[in-house]
């Protein structure tokens, strides 16, 4: 009988902790993209994954400012 007095509060505390962890995961948007992970394992190319930004910043050419562009052009004599 004494064990019941210990198990009931322990079970209640465990349920409250589980509820708090679940609420935290919902608030931190852990369940927003339910299909992205399942597609990611099947796709070889990351550009095909839904919801992903397909632009790769490493492939974009660097933009030069107007003063640098004018310095590179030969001046007319």
For residue range 35-74, list pLDDT tens digits in order. 777 777 777 766 655 666 655 555 555 555 555 555 555 5
Residue 60 in any domain: the answer is: no
Given pLDDT bands bounded at 50, 70 and 90, which one contains residue 17?
A: very high
Q: Residue 76: is its pLDDT beyond 70? A: no
Residue range of the domain that includes 4: 1-29
Tell me the torsion sign for CA atoms 41, 47, 49, 51: positive
Mean pLDDT of 5-27: 96
Whether the model pTM is above 0.75 = no
- Find all residues with CB under 8 Å of 70, minimum gap 6, and list them: none
In 3-state terms, what secondary structure has residue 6? helix
Residue 17 in any domain: the answer is: yes
Q: Would you state the pLDDT for residue 7?
A: 97
Residue bearing tokens 């852990």: 30
Total domain count for the chain?
Answer: 1
- Find all residues with CB under 8 Å of 36, minimum gap 6, and list them: 49, 50, 51, 52
Residue 41 in any domain: the answer is: no
Q: Would you state the pLDDT for residue 46?
A: 60
Q: Which helix (H) or strand (E) holds 68?
A: helix 66-72
Mean pLDDT of 19-28: 94
Residue 67 in any domain: the answer is: no
Residue 76 in any domain: the answer is: no
Residue 49 in any domain: the answer is: no
């Amino acid at each position: 009988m004494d064990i019941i007095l210990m198990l009931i509060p322990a079970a209640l505390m465990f349920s409250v902790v589980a509820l708090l962890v679940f609420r935290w995961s919902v608030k931190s948007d852990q369940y927003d993209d339910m299909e992205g992970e399942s597609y990611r394992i099947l796709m070889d190319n990351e550009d095909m994954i839904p919801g992903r930004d397909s632009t790769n910043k490493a492939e974009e050419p660097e933009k030069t400012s107007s003063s640098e562009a004018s310095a590179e052009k030969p001046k007319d004599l």
